[in-house]
């Protein structure tokens, strides 16, 4: 058997250390994203969400929220809950407040829960299914041209640690309570509306049949228009 001398053994050991170091560095940097590469990766993560998307962004702009509009719509169609934490409206310059207000209204229409933890928040974080953590310097809902860095970590312990550290536990619980109450209200309203529709249809069918028998089809259009006016 070939006997390796000490120098050759040291060479092999150092070479292996170099390879391991390069692999470690490659693994670490593969989790780093800049302002150019972040959004595609982040959107892909959101579209893979199973339950929940949390975005903690101090500021929002119409430009950036327009970018996320279709993604949010796709998530809500799958009943993925979206929670946004941002600064209150009064923190913006007066000339831009109407634009921000319209954006917040659109969030509400999409079924997105928006919270305002305080005027001085500055953390930039996103958490998906409480398993994938994005953190760094980039304002996710407002960034446009600035140079930024974000790190992606797929680890539920890290995600839960950040949720606890910045105090989202109670706010998320409140958010799910609000969602439950909204579902109950919608269910009650839907049930009432369904009952009204059935009653209207029965009455409409009966009245139309009577008028056709008595007066023929000439009066039919007038009857329908009158009923629609009464049942608005």
The string of DSSP letters for 109-124 reads HHT-EEE---TT----
User: Residue 111 — left, alpha, or beta (φ > 0 → left; ψ -120 to 50 → alpha)?
Assistant: left
At the fourth CATH level, the homologous superfamily of domain 31-167 is: Endonuclease Chain A (3.30.870.10)
Question: Residue holding tokens 């702009």?
Answer: 61
What pLDDT shows up at residue 28? 47
What pLDDT tens digit does each residue of the chain (232 aa) get?
445 566 666 666 676 665 555 444 444 447 999 999 999 999 999 999 999 999 999 999 999 999 999 999 999 999 999 999 999 999 999 999 999 999 999 998 999 999 999 888 999 999 999 999 999 999 999 999 999 999 999 999 999 999 999 999 888 988 888 877 777 776 666 665 566 655 665 665 665 556 555 655 445 555 555 555 555 5
Task: Return d(Cα 82, Cα 55) in angstroms, integer.
Answer: 8
Answer positive or negative: Cα dihedral of 84, 90, 93, 96: positive
Q: Where are the domains of the chain?
A: 31-167, 191-230
Answer positive or negative: Cα dihedral of 55, 60, 64, 66: positive
Q: b vs e for 128-148, b when ≥16 Cβ sit within 10 Å of the residue's Cβ?
A: bbebbbbbbebbbbbbeeeeb
């Amino acid at each position: 058997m070939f006997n390796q001398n000490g120098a050759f053994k040291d060479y092999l050991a150092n070479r292996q250390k170099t390879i391991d170091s390069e692999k470690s560095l490659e693994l670490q940097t593969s989790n780093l994203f800049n302002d150019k590469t972040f959004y595609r990766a982040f959107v892909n993560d959101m579209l893979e969400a199973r339950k929940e998307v949390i975005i903690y962004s101090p500021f929002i702009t119409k430009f950036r929220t327009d970018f996320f509009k279709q993604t949010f719509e796709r998530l809500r169609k799958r009943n993925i809950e979206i929670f946004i934490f941002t600064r209150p409206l009064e923190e913006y310059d007066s000339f831009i407040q109407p634009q921000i207000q319209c954006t917040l209204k659109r969030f509400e229409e999409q079924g997105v829960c928006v919270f305002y933890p305080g005027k001085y928040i500055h953390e930039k974080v996103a958490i998906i299914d409480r398993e994938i953590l994005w953190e760094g310097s980039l304002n996710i809902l407002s960034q446009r041209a600035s140079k930024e860095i974000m790190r992606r970590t797929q680890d539920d312990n890290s995600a839960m640690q950040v949720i606890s550290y910045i105090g989202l536990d109670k706010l998320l619980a409140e958010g799910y309570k609000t969602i439950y109450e909204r579902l109950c209200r919608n269910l009650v309203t839907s049930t009432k509306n369904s009952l009204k529709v059935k009653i209207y249809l029965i009455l409409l069918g009966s009245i139309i049949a009577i008028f056709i028998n008595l007066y023929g089809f000439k009066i039919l259009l007038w009857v329908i228009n009158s009923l629609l006016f009464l049942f608005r």
